[in-house]
Chain A
Amino acid sequence: MTPSSSSPDVTDSIEAELSRIWGELLDLDPAGIPPDTGFLRLGGDSVLAVRMSAMVRKRLAVELALSDVTVEITLDHLADLVRRRASGEGAARALPVEIERRPDPSASFPLMPLQQGYFVGQHDGWELSYDSAHFYGDVGLVGVDGDEAADALEDALTRLALHQPMLRARITPEGEQYVLPPDSPGAIPRPRVYDLREAAPDEVEAHLRAVRNEMRTTGPNPLDGPGLDIRLSLLPGDRGRLHTAMSLLTLDGWSATLLNRELLTLAADWNAVLAPLGVDFGDYVTSLGRLRDTEAYAADRDWWWERLDGAPAPPALPLHTDPRDVRPTTMGTREDRLAAERWTALRERCAAHGVTPSAAMVTAFGVVLARWAGHRRMLLNSLQLNRLPLHPDIHRVIGAFATTMLLPVELERGRTFTELAGDVQRTFTEHAAHNLVSGVEVSRELARRRGTTRPIGPVVFQSTLGMDAAMGERQAESAGPLGELVFDDFHHQLRTPQVALEVRFYEVREEMAIVFSLVEELFDADQVDAAFTDLLTLIGSLADGPGWDRVVELPAVGDPEGATGDLSLDRLPERGADQQEGPPADELEQRICELWEEILGVPVLDRATGFFSLGGDSLLAVRALARIAKEVGTAPSVREFLDAPTVAGLAAAVRARLEGSRR
């Protein structure tokens, strides 16, 4: 026995402190928490588990490995683990960096990988991209104090922007970000208020349609202003409508929920004060930058790299049109809600079957996709809102923390849903335990190996189930002069690049929302409807009970079978960039070689060399094209560049532009 573990005080204090942490997270009496019951069964989930790690790190000064803290862990096991880690035993794969405050909070810092993706998307860099990557929502208000509401909202937004630095963020044309000091002009976003209290009904309707249409199609752009656009329509009968558009470049889904909560809290009470934040997003990004030099990062990268050659293709969903040939302006939506009592029942049944609601939902989505695509093995892209537990305040910080994770889903035939969900949860946990390398980076490497510029993970899964609990308090429904929020009167719209189909699961008060966002132009609407119905039916059977022990009907085929001649999401044609190898053929090609050498730090000797195979990424592509435009006078868009991302291909595109402009 070591002195520390033999001391009853220390032992007691570990157990007692852990009980207190669980009590706070799960809203339970610390004294009454059974030591042998799993975190999941007590109402915990993976989001809360991450928060638990941060609290353990802060209060007990013990670093838990990301893979240690599974939802199945019991208080006993956790105490044991903490004791072993504290005594330096066991190979904890702890986070090898400490978060530090940056000396200059207005210093610029790099974009996170997913931010880079959005940034490039706004430069027309991807197929399926838009002028802005943003989320738009509007919600009905009743009982509005029309004379006070505008001031209350402006005041709340000002105080919130002082509290949350990323609401003052800007992005530079070179793809860096920085936070404006509060006193610099334009730093604090201002709401726009439309007073239609005296307007006629048709005028109100026309106004709301116009505002919605404008904000859906033109999102706020942090390259030239705040990443947030908030508007208030004051309507007759003390009603109103709160419109919010947020750039995904500066706010992720978690932040959107935070923003709504904090804004309404501040609007409800002139005197409300939010607990100060010990870190900001820039501190987090800067710490993650140091992570790249650690062995832990290298180990995660190796883990992913070893698996890449065997990674499956995206689901072979039949397509109308090649994604490259559509120019969508908005994404289509299918949505439904699981009523409060059924959502409660579903949560309980998930816990009883030893899976998180999120794991059950990704399994259900996988089953539906398998039936739609006609095969059982596929690559999904999971949007991860979890933040690395570098600081206990991190979950209260607004920023673009989100990242992605590639998730291979392999559904075996002849198994019950319970078994399938268990398999998927294990795979998910195993992959999430290597999350120091983001899905964006993994996708880039996979694309390089496959020699493709087409999307690697165009089918996305996103779940924020459990987030409300992780944030602590419930969403406020009353916002002082702004009145009451009517959640049944909620309209929303997401625009995110490189996504063909995205499913989202989230909680709205006591209900669970199930949403498809998709590029309508790609799919047959009847097939989308059928798949959405299939998903609702399956979820219903899980909420009601019988769905768990039934053998799930699945197609016989594992991986999609080749060449049927029809277009499908797993098999998008590559545009032949068939340049002849050799040294650069002229001065333009030579200039491109030299520029790429400068940007990528490697020799560029052949005209058939691909930008991405040299280690370039999309952000560097934007920079390279900007340089070409500056030096030569013109450059193709990133999207055109992706068609032939070689020295010769770029030179040809530049020449075509030069000739076009001469004509």
Chain B
Amino acid sequence: MTVIGVLGGSGTVGRVVVDRLTEYGLGRLRVGGRDLDRAAAVCRAFPQATAEPMRVDLHDPQNLREFCTGCDVVVNCAGPSYQVLDAVARVALAAGAHYVDAAGDLAAIDALESAPPPELDERAAVFSAGLMPGLSGLLPRLLATGPLARLDVYVGGAARIGELSAVDALLTRGPQFGTALAVWRDGRIVPGALAPLRAVTLPGFRGRVHAWPFLSVETARLAADLGVGELRNYTVYVTEAIPRALAAAWADGGPAERHVPAVVAAADADIAATGPYYTLLFQAVPAPGQPAGPDRPRRLLLQTPDSYALSGVVAAITVGELLEGRIKPGARAAAECLDAADVFARLTGDPLVTAAELH
């Protein structure tokens, strides 16, 4: 019988992965965590699941190898991703498993491809199988029914930021992740082309929001892939608290940990302002002369109360696709190897999705 290992299975993302994998009935689960009691508690919470807890420390290679051995797929929901990079993927592949990472950026893929393990010829390692990156690079493909003159991507809302995610947020800047204020135009990144939008209204976002241009590596690749004339990519905040906290931290420098409390508090202030919600909004402008019609949607909107949990759903769906043999071997980004229509259809039926519109 198929065995799926879930690393970080007692975390926010991991619990959802366990839940959905159980629901999809894809196999037996091995739920790994640093704290065996918490992992065991997760297993007990899903009595119908054939799940066993296992204590595992990501930083102990021997321990990690033992966890992966016997798994068909290893799903990693533990972070922070800037530390994990390709380390867990290499162990999983070496143990004969496919690998799915609910996070992990281009940096992780590059690291793995810089010295590709031979198992990559037979197995897949899928990174960025989450919301952003992940859905943010995948779903807009549904709007590319013909050539596009322009594509706008707005992702954000009010979400709790845990301490680990705060570190991620503080460290994931630089050319490996994206370019602030840049736009994709006519096949290249144009820096400094966009200004922050303050107090604007956007479909699917509550009240007035603030949108900060940040052309992520993922959306730049998407733009190149689709041949879009212009792509604008914004991160949306419900107040200016988070951009202010991040800007203050970057200006101040020093170790990221010092600024974590400020970022966590800023996110809490956002939730207090609007309640928790997260929206992905994509809007396309067809190239001139393209016919209009119901089969040529221009807007895709997805909303969830919990962005972390939804990443877990994406990771679980990715596992299913892998086991069905629909993903070819190699190191890949989820946005570039999943089927957008399939994923959108599955998300539409998921209880964590409160709005899914395509029109």
Contact = CB atoms under 8 A, between A and B. Distances in A.
B292 A602 contact: no
Contact of B285 (A590, A602, A606, A613): A590
B115 interface: no
Interface residues of B, number: 18
A605 B283 contact: yes
Contacts of B284: 583
Given A586-B292, A603-B197, A581 B203 contact: yes
Nearest to B150: A594
Contacts, number: 34
A458 interface: no
Contacts of B197: 602-603
B203 A605 contact: yes
Interface in A593-649: 594, 601-603, 605-606, 609, 613-614
A584 interface: yes
Given A584-B298, A603-B202, 4 more contacts: A583-B299, A601-B195, A603-B152, A605-B202
A183 interface: no
A586 B294 CA distance: 12
B201 interface: yes
A587 B283 contact: no
A614 B359 contact: no
A588 to B, nearest CB: 11
A603 B199 CA distance: 11
B292 A583 contact: no
The 8 closest A-B pairs by CB, nearest first: A583-B298, A583-B299, A602-B200, A606-B203, A605-B283, A586-B292, A605-B203, A583-B283
28 contacts: A581-B203, A582-B359, A583-B283, A583-B299, A583-B359, A584-B298, A585-B292, A586-B292, A587-B292, A590-B285, A594-B285, A601-B195, A602-B200, A603-B152, A603-B154, A603-B197, A603-B202, A603-B211, A605-B152, A605-B202, A605-B203, A605-B281, A605-B283, A605-B299, A606-B203, A609-B201, A613-B201, A614-B201
B228 to A, nearest CB: 15
A432 B198 CA distance: 30
DSSP class of A's interface residues: helix, strand, loop or mixed?
Answer: loop
Contacts of B325: none
A590 B286 CA distance: 9
B288 interface: yes
Interface in B269-309: 281, 283-285, 288, 292, 298-299
Interface string B186-213: 0000000001010011110000000100
Interface in B212-231: none
B203 A587 contact: no
A590 B203 CA distance: 16
B335 to A, nearest CB: 22
A430 to B, nearest CB: 28
Contacts of B359: 582-583
A220 to B, nearest CB: 41
Interface in A550-600: 581-587, 590, 594
Contacts of A609: 201
Nearest to A594: B285
Nearest to A613: B201
B288 A603 contact: no
Given A583-B283, A583-B359, A587-B288, A603 B200 contact: yes
